[in-house]
Structure 1
């Protein structure tokens, strides 16, 4: 499978070299006072990658008050960020094959918007044909993005990533550089939990908790090597109950119920299993939590966006890249050993004490 993927990538790069010429140089000059329409392109459907783009969009709206800032996001993720840009435009990548007439009608409508600037907000390190293609075909004369792969075929202003910038949010904010716009903070935003039904469900779930801090445990993750074992989460729940009087609520998403049940059943009654929740209800639950302990995954960023203190269990070597400032503690662990459980517990206790910067 990896061989086929590599062959497909090589063929794609060959086609790009044939079909796309490099953007003309010198690049068009930028006068922010003349910018009226901006398109931010972030078509990755993963929750974390959508949320990690919110500081960039916020800075654009504040730095260009006379401009309309639109955001192209993966279809199905609009509710995560509704209202955070002037317009949220759902992008259905699969329409290219399932409904090509609808796909090309969408592209033509996008070009008719007359964008002055389009920003490819994909990862600085990874070439994304979809994101770069959408940026180029927006029709914007000024196209900004990180320099990687064959980006010169799509962009007019390539931004060199600074190697000393280790975290993802500051890396995303590098894209403001060609516009001369200052960042407007690194905090993540979401509006997904504005749904009254989600708030009511969260109140029902969290209102049943006994006295003491409510700690949300998120033992799931899309990548198996990002999952701290369930017995480690269970041992942590026991420590939290014994030493700080906390009640733990085990949260889970599609396909994770068995994993969550394993945590609850091994916790000696210190943790209880949450009912099924969608993203909106999960976000609303996070707003009730005194602390969220989570693997490095989409809900980690969602908890940050909801303002919850977060202790993140980082098993991957590049885990620090996805960390945040403020009430956030990234804990590098490798096993479910008592020593690693102790490390996560100490981070959790520190956050519960209120010592972390807000």
Structure 2
């Protein structure tokens, strides 16, 4: 039996004498307790960090907006992760808080608690289910506190969602909204790119003689070393793609990842361009201009969902069903060996030739012709 039942009262909407409108009341029956949805006028989604999780959580914001079209919807996030929801069209405001460690820890937490409490939210959603997010929800003063039925947030939530089956993380986050009758929708992510960031990408492409050429982006780095496919494998793949297509090779890297790109370029026999240090917006602008992206399991893989860049991700010893967008968005694919066990060599159980074969299967979907080399 579905424990979440949304129903409307029989009382029709009408206009008051003062010109305001009384809307038909709507209720959620949660385990026998009536939640007056019509009283939810201020909503806060809490997902402090990191970059990838903040972006993935934003997937359901348009659906939440359609469910509560008149409500104010805000998003609590730690700096600098607020960039992932900057100017999101489904949000009214982003509460970006400092979350520093050391001597600033207590002060930053107190400021965060007050930042939320003083806004008098009707509904606070603990999407992160962490110690930090649970504390924020517990001290929010909100009438309704939505969290999962198990884990750290369960103690402080008075409306509880159930974890559904494991699936791509952006889609799975819809589990949280099921108590309000919101069902999973096709995954779409939004990431704002400014005119200045667009101009930077165009300028770099022009300055390096790549105007009018198709670009294959390679991201051999990752935040976690065990998630990085071997750089010599990346190099061999890039050489073979360059020899078999008209794609120019460009290497992109994130914070503390430049050595991956330099090492890969050193292995290569064909020309490769290494991008400079980029902001997230500049990276997004380059992704939009790329014909194809090859990368590891990481934030860039998910950012490419937002930019709709065709992508082949290389996955090692991770929960592939949770982190691959294959089957959820038409641009994204993965390669992994389910029998691979974590080891220092990080070959992931497949070769550059295997990766090229996978690319050959995908390439025609995006108008890319690959010759045998």
Structures share fold, TM-score greater than 0.5:
yes
Aligned counterpart, 1:16? none
Aligned counterpart, 2:160? 158
Aligned counterpart, 1:109? 115
- Structure 1 residue 43 and structure 2 residue 48: aligned? yes
Of residues 47-56 and 266-275 in structure 1, the stretch that sits farther from structure 2 once superposed is: 266-275
Aligned counterpart, 1:12? none
- Aligned equivalent of 1:128, options 130, 133, 138: 130
Counterpart-to-counterpart distance in 2, 1:131 and 1:262: 39
SS of residue matched to 1:236: helix
- Structure 1 residue 82 and structure 2 residue 86: aligned? yes
Q: Shift of the alpha carbon at 1:38?
A: 0.4
Q: How many residues align?
A: 323
Q: CA RMSD in A?
A: 2.4
SS of residue matched to 1:174: helix
Q: Identify if the C-alpha distance between structure 1 residues 255 and 152 changes in structure 2 by more than 3 Å, giving closer, same or farther.
A: closer
Aligned counterpart, 2:259? 258
Q: Which has the larger radius of gyration?
A: 2
Q: Identify if the C-alpha distance between structure 1 residues 291 and 349 changes in structure 2 by more than 3 Å, giving closer, same or farther.
A: same
Aligned counterpart, 1:17? none
SS of residue matched to 1:221: coil
Q: Shift of the alpha carbon at 1:152?
A: 2.7
Q: Shift of the alpha carbon at 1:240?
A: 1.5
SS of residue matched to 2:309: coil
Aligned counterpart, 2:294? 293
Unaligned 5+ runs, structure 2 = 1-29, 338-347
Aligned counterpart, 1:29? 34
Q: Identify if the C-alpha distance between structure 1 residues 225 and 344 changes in structure 2 by more than 3 Å, giving closer, same or farther.
A: farther
Equivalence map 1:299-314=2 (5 Å): 299-314=300-315
Aligned counterpart, 2:75? 71
Counterpart-to-counterpart distance in 2, 1:272 and 1:225: 25
User: In 1, are the aligned partners of 2:261 and 2:274 still within 8 Å (CA)?
Assistant: yes
Higher relative contact order (CA 8 A, sep 6+): 1
- Aligned equivalent of 1:345, options 335, 353, 359: 359
- Structure 1 residue 273 and structure 2 residue 279: aligned? no
* CA offsets 1:328-348 (integer angstroms, 9 cap, x no match): 111114246244333443355
Q: Identify if the C-alpha distance between structure 1 residues 352 and 248 changes in structure 2 by more than 3 Å, giving closer, same or farther.
A: farther
Aligned counterpart, 1:58? 62
Aligned counterpart, 1:181? 182
Counterpart-to-counterpart distance in 2, 1:205 and 1:348: 28
Counterpart-to-counterpart distance in 2, 1:236 and 1:95: 41
Counterpart-to-counterpart distance in 2, 1:327 and 1:266: 29
User: In 2, are the aligned partners of 1:72 and 1:91 still within 8 Å (CA)?
Assistant: yes
Q: Identify if the C-alpha distance between structure 1 residues 134 and 48 changes in structure 2 by more than 3 Å, giving closer, same or farther.
A: same
- Structure 1 residue 94 and structure 2 residue 100: aligned? yes
Aligned counterpart, 1:317? 318
User: In 2, are the aligned partners of 1:47 and 1:299 still within 8 Å (CA)?
Assistant: no
Counterpart-to-counterpart distance in 2, 1:28 and 1:294: 47
User: In 1, are the aligned partners of 2:161 and 2:177 still within 8 Å (CA)?
Assistant: no
Counterpart-to-counterpart distance in 1, 2:132 and 2:334: 31
* CA offsets 1:172-207 (integer angstroms, 9 cap, x no match): 01111111234453111111x21x332222112223
Q: Identify if the C-alpha distance between structure 1 residues 184 and 321 changes in structure 2 by more than 3 Å, giving closer, same or farther.
A: closer
* CA offsets 1:260-303 (integer angstroms, 9 cap, x no match): 01222322124221122121111110010111111011111112
* CA offsets 1:178-237 (integer angstroms, 9 cap, x no match): 11234453111111x21x332222112223326542111111111111101111111111
Unaligned 5+ runs, structure 1 = 1-24
- Taking structure 2 as the reference length, the TM-score comes to 0.80
SS of residue matched to 1:107: helix
Counterpart-to-counterpart distance in 1, 2:32 and 2:364: 49
Q: Identify if the C-alpha distance between structure 1 residues 340 and 317 changes in structure 2 by more than 3 Å, giving closer, same or farther.
A: farther
SS of residue matched to 2:200: helix
Q: Identify if the C-alpha distance between structure 1 residues 28 and 57 changes in structure 2 by more than 3 Å, giving closer, same or farther.
A: farther
